[in-house]
Amino acid sequence: MNRSSFFQCARWFTLLGLLVLPLVGCKKESDSSGTAAPVAGAEPIRVGEYASLHGSEATFGQSSHNGTVIAVEEINAAGGLLGRKIDLITDDNQSKAGESATIVKKFISRDKVVAVLGEVASSRSLEAAPICQSKQVPMVSPSSTNPDVTATGDYIFRVCFIDPFQGRLLAEFAHRTLKASKAALLSDVSSAYSAGLGKYFREAFEKNGGQIVIEQKYASKDKDFRAQLTAIKAANVDVIFVPGYYTEVGLVVAQARQLGITIPLFGGDGWEAPELIDIAGAKNLENTYYSTHFSPEVKSPLVEKFVATYKSKFGAVPDAMAALGYDSAVVLFDAIKRAGSTEGPKLRDALAATKDYPCLTGKTTLDAERNATKSAVIITVKDGKFKYLETVEP
Ligand code: PHE
């Protein structure tokens, strides 16, 4: 190669390098979900999402993730934020204890995320929250309702109501609609959510003059609840309150009916999953009730648009986790926009100032404890279908 062809070659390589570099800079890390073309030259804003995409609470993580993906696609289609694309990095904790902490540490140290979205289940949010707090990386939980989650510190937020409210509304529902004065409580001791909701229900039910005649316990992954249910049957109560997650709740309902227990069973948002009907059996679910955050039947342009997008993209009707997964992301994006920055302390301050943001689950204002105040809905099951009963205002 003579001197002039060497320089020609070198020039071509430089040109090629200049063309390729920006593409490398915007390379997708993992489960990136943005559809819009990256803003040329700008580094994407990385957001980490940890979720239970497999395991005993798989539908929680899947629904929440789907909702989050729609929010990310919408913001990227609208040009991103601060001239940058949002890059969502999702990791699956498989509903297992211990995994969330590992994932979130990796998000922060390796992936350099500016914020973390997650989780649905309170116990797993409680695992990750201290890590986000100590690293000054804001975390927004879509739907963990145990008060301790946001009490972890000033970097931890949520966009849903909390369990003192949920326990109270369920106690009032039991008293007023189910006309119950004697209740049994069957809770999951391995879950912060279940133990907490059971406690708040008891306090409110007793305050209304009701009595918890018997309390029985189980642990997540248990399959046989007949000993507890037999004891409950003998206690002659009006209703059974089961604050748990759908996998165990489904078996509890089926076994209760097999034992000839016909009284109402009811619980909180942890019941919500299409699988509940498969596990419990449609007939066994007659005369059961649960409270949750959202009904796709709500008539509002925002909800109708989301339901249509979700249906066409995922072939299903969105549930509460899907709506809250979307809401957690849009509240974060709004804060990034108002902060004009992705620095932890600035983002934290902007999140804390969230006021009247129009979410699918209602207008969202974050209070001094970094919680939202929202209405709840009560659902029952009729002929194997979830049916909206009423809305309870806070
Ligand atoms: N609130 C539940 C918890 O804190 C999780 C959940 C949210 C379940 C929404 C169903 C629907 O663990």
> What DSSP state is assigned to residue 43?
P
Task: Give residue 41's pLDDT.
Answer: 74
Report the separation in Å between the CA atom of 21 and the middle of ligand 1, taken as the mean of its atom positions: 43
Closest residue to atom 7 of ligand 1, CA basis: 143
Report the separation in Å between the CA atom of 308 and the middle of ligand 1, taken as the mean of its atom positions: 24
Q: Which residue has the tokens 């609208």?
A: 78
- Substitution candidate for ligand 1 out of 52, 59, 60 with most atoms within 8 A of CB: 60
Q: Which residues' Cβ are closer than 6 Å to ligand 1?
A: 60, 120-122, 143-146, 193, 269-270, 272, 292, 320-321
Asked whether the beta carbons of 200 and 163 are under 8 A apart, the reply is yes
pLDDT digits (tens, 9 = 90+) for 132-172: 999 999 999 999 999 999 999 999 999 999 999 999 999 99
Is the Cα dihedral 321, 91, 190, 263 positive or negative?
positive
Report the separation in Å between the CA atom of 82 and the middle of ligand 1, taken as the mean of its atom positions: 32
Report the separation in Å between the CA atom of 7 and the middle of ligand 1, taken as the mean of its atom positions: 64
Closest residue to atom 4 of ligand 1, CA basis: 144
- How far apart CA 378 and CA 271 sit, in angstroms, is 11
- How far apart CA 150 and CA 346 sit, in angstroms, is 18
Q: Identify which of 265, 271, 264, 266 has the alpha carbon closest to the alpha carbon of residue 292.
A: 271
Surface-to-core class of residue 340, CB atoms within 10 Å of its CB (0-12 exposed, 13-18 middle, 19+ buried) = exposed
Closest residue to atom 8 of ligand 1, CA basis: 270
Report the separation in Å between the CA atom of 335 and the middle of ligand 1, taken as the mean of its atom positions: 24
Atom of ligand 1 nearest to the CA of 57: 8
**Which segments of the chain have a pLDDT < 70?**
1-40
Task: Give residue 22's pLDDT.
Answer: 38
Report the separation in Å between the CA atom of 121 and the middle of ligand 1, taken as the mean of its atom positions: 5
Task: Give residue 39's pLDDT.
Answer: 56
Structural domains for the chain: 45-161+298-375 (3.40.50.2300), 164-292 (3.40.50.2300)
pTM over 0.85: yes
Report the separation in Å between the CA atom of 269 and the middle of ligand 1, taken as the mean of its atom positions: 5
Report the separation in Å between the CA atom of 159 and the middle of ligand 1, taken as the mean of its atom positions: 12
Report the separation in Å between the CA atom of 342 and the middle of ligand 1, taken as the mean of its atom positions: 28
- Substitution candidate for ligand 1 out of 65, 188, 193, 361 with most atoms within 8 A of CB: 193
Atom of ligand 1 nearest to the CA of 121: 12
Atom of ligand 1 nearest to the CA of 292: 11
- How far apart CA 33 and CA 60 sit, in angstroms, is 19
Rg (alpha carbons) of the chain, rounded to whole number: 24
**Half-sphere exposure at residue 145, Cβ-oriented, CA atoms within 13 angstroms:** 30
Asked whether the beta carbons of 54 and 92 are under 8 A apart, the reply is yes
Q: Is the peptide bond before 343 cis (omega within 30 degrees of 0)?
A: no
Task: Give residue 298's pLDDT.
Answer: 83
Question: Residue-wise over 288-314: b if at least 16 C-beta within 10 A, else e?
Answer: bbbbbbbbbebeeeebeebbeebeeeb
Q: What percent of the chain has pLDDT over 70?
A: 90
pLDDT digits (tens, 9 = 90+) for 68-95: 999 999 999 999 999 999 999 999 999 9
